[in-house]
Structure 1
């Protein structure tokens, strides 16, 4: 997993914070200086935090668990859908459905309903419905797809959540905190980082900044998934080798038993013949 260079962060504008009057004092440790009334983020600390977050996400992906990405702000939607979709992780880029985590069973029911509509559309009975009914069901399906389509594969609560802009996604963060789900987030100078487990001090408004940081996270997830695949393949190969060795051992055991039987048979026959000859001599 290649590390982000200081210059890359600088070129993407990751260092630009908010106006000084909008700052959150809890972000003071990550602010380098103030320039023209705007806080400048310390990119050296950002780089360290990106590496920490990437390493943690890599391990989660390697363990086979899911990471939910949340970014409903306009400049982040396409980036999240593109990059996160490429690693098959769930994401929310439309309105956050309240209770999505704290009331997860209800969300799963809605996803199942969407799946049942899909099944119904492929059944012969679909053709017998009126045009109006088809239109209503189609609209309902499109609405559900918009909000739930990207989390259809999320069968259980995620192992972690990555958020772009904790202020905008405060409801999602609260739900994650309540359920003890680790929160990874891009945190700007106007935000409160205290509910974030892995914070990345960064500009969460510029699309280039978001793309760079999210790209680093998804690259780490790719590496984790690749390592998981290698481990699974190695385990499968080891199991196959073990079974083959067991089979060979059993074969050797059978061969030894067979050989002992074959060695024993001539001896028995010889003893029998000698006994017969001795009886004949005695009779004579």
Structure 2
């Protein structure tokens, strides 16, 4: 609640239309409600895909139908947030009806034990957002809205490519939890999925990088080609991001060695923020790209160093 209050104060101070942020924040509520962890735990990940796809299609259609002119711009975050909240509420209803799970208020000491048990994953999630978001925030303070807009436009396409791997890694996690608990199968399993998924990331990343100018032109029009290199360079970030997921989530977290993952994230996150502060005022977008790529590569190096050092 403190963080939410602080964000609201900042939005009121720096934004001419804080309602844009208020309405967009509904997507956070939707993410809180959606029990991805449950569907992963019972290995029924198809519900994650089906619910998300159906809700996003329905509310995207609603955007095209209802948004008629520029003055209707607030309907976009509103409908997007409603889609996320709808997906979250329906998924909880599905858990109750389909899996016969009863909901009840838990005791404080139980909640505290769960929070402590998941603290390392929470920290890595927060630091992950720090890795990916700090650059844009700093860029917005030292550059123009136009430059930030070009970077954000390319980053949206990058996020779309990253989204191709999210269902794969989510579906793999329960399997990884079983496989990596046994030393005789852990290493071979991780090497296998690293080769397959890492190979996919390399192939898709290389393809997008080669055709980045055409992709940018098709999606955004003729004003963007000079900034297509942003999308191309981000594909390096994509490759190492996928590798880091395999090492950090599928191996370290799944084998309950997530404290090493968190430590690596702390190191990489601090270096990334420091590089952003130093480079962005001088290099602008290029400073963001350098900091993010160095951060991802450093994260990979830190995790591998800890694995070999402590024979994990």
Q: TM-score, normalised by structure 2?
A: 0.22
More helix as a share of residues: 2
Higher strand share: 1
Larger-Rg structure: 1
TM-score (norm 1): 0.23
